[in-house]
Amino acid sequence: MDHDVVAGQRMTERYLLNELDPGLRDEFEEHYFSCTACAADVQAAALLVEQIENGAIPDTNLRPVPVMPPIQTRSRWLPWLRPAFVIPVMAMLLVVVGYQNLVTYPQMARQLSSPRVLPLAQVNVGTYGDAPALKIHQGQGFLVYTRIPPDAAYSKYRVELYNPAGTLEWSLEIPMSSGQDQYPVYVPGANREAGRYSLKVYGITAAGDRREVGPALFELQIQK
């Protein structure tokens, strides 16, 4: 609602006299909360009415003003942020956090500290041949024992994992060690689909130049 329209139609006075229909009243209230001039007018007029009703100012020139009902301000909060909704949600969150602290995290800590054998695939970067098959359970992590031809021109390698759809899942930088050509790359557990995965390896020089060393493929099979 435009401020000139409010002033021209004397909506401030009509609002205080409760002469606006419900639709205009709602529009004026929305304008009232965003217009400092109208807010000041409403507050000053309301104070004047209160003083007249209390007898502080004789009512000689003004017509009787009916008692103004309390202004119903519209809540700026979303309904789900009200206490009736917030309290159950907070209780549920406390239950979830408590379960994680008492059950989930201790189980994960025991699994990480327990010795275990990880599924393993051995791949050679830059060579052609059949992609080795790797069987895992859904969500299980595994190792990709990666052989990278050593090259003194590089100071480090960058390894990128691509899923069967060709989407990059993650990348990892490996410092180049003199005389070392095999690197065990741990792939964290995730909800993956079965299919052919690709490791792309890039060599990075001390100057920051990046060159592709080659890809390495492996077939991931998900066991039920």
Residue that finishes a domain, picked among 38, 53, 68: 53
Q: What is the pLDDT of residues 8-65, one digit of tens each?
A: 777 777 776 677 777 777 777 776 666 776 666 666 666 655 555 555 545 445 455 5
Q: What is the pLDDT of residues 80-133, one digit of tens each?
A: 455 555 555 566 666 555 655 665 556 555 555 667 678 899 999 987 777 899
10 Å CB burial of residue 163 (0-12, 13-18, 19+) is: middle
Q: What's the number of domains the chain is made of?
A: 2
- Give the domain-ending residue among 53, 71, 93: 53
| Domain, as residue range, for 124 | 120-223
Is residue 85 domain-resident?
no
pTM greater than the 0.85 cutoff:
no
Task: Please give the Cα distance from 147 to 169 (Å, whole number).
Answer: 20
| C-alpha 38, offset from chain centre | 39
